[in-house]
Amino acid sequence: MKKVIIICTGNSVRSQMAEGFFKKYKSNWEIRSAGTNPQGLNPLSVKVMLEKGIDISGSKSKSINKFLGQKFDYIITVCDNAKENCPYFPGSAKYIHWSFSDPSSVSGSEEEKLNAFRKVRDEIEKKILEFINSK
């Protein structure tokens, strides 16, 4: 079983979506997500993930500090800020960086915001499927 942690700044959007997709596609892996500055789960993340049949409504934003000292096979950062502020983890983990834009920074109508979340959600799913299929 592989052990993966996905890290973002707020652990409210991108890392939560990635955790949801990893749990769907690799249920036999141990998947975690965390933030360098946790902000709480964004309700639009929940809404767009439900469109894919994945319920992340029970997820909580967690601090990366909760996982310090643990060993992981893969440490995946999903935003540039998290990559720059990612702490060291023991062991021989492979560090991977995927830079996704932050849909929560988009302003406009509810539909414009949802479309931004959907775009990032679909990019994350595609990246995770490519990653899984390469293993």
Q: Map tokens 């991108």 to a residue.
A: 14
Show the domains of the chain with their CATH numbers.
3-133 (3.40.50.2300)
As annotated, the active-site residues are: 8, 79, 86
Contact 54, 8 (CB under 8 A): no
Contact 34, 62 (CB under 8 A): yes
Average pLDDT over residues 3-9: 96
- pLDDT per position as a tens digit, 79-132: 988 888 877 887 889 999 999 999 999 999 999 999 999 999 999 999 999 999
In this model, does residue 20 exceed pLDDT 80? yes
pTM of the model: 0.95
Q: What percentage of the chain has pLDDT greater than the value 70? A: 100
* Interacting residues of 8 by C-beta distance below 8 A, sequence separation 6+: 14, 15, 16, 33, 35, 36, 77, 78, 79, 82
pLDDT of amino acid 29: 97
DSSP-derived letter for residue 135 is: -
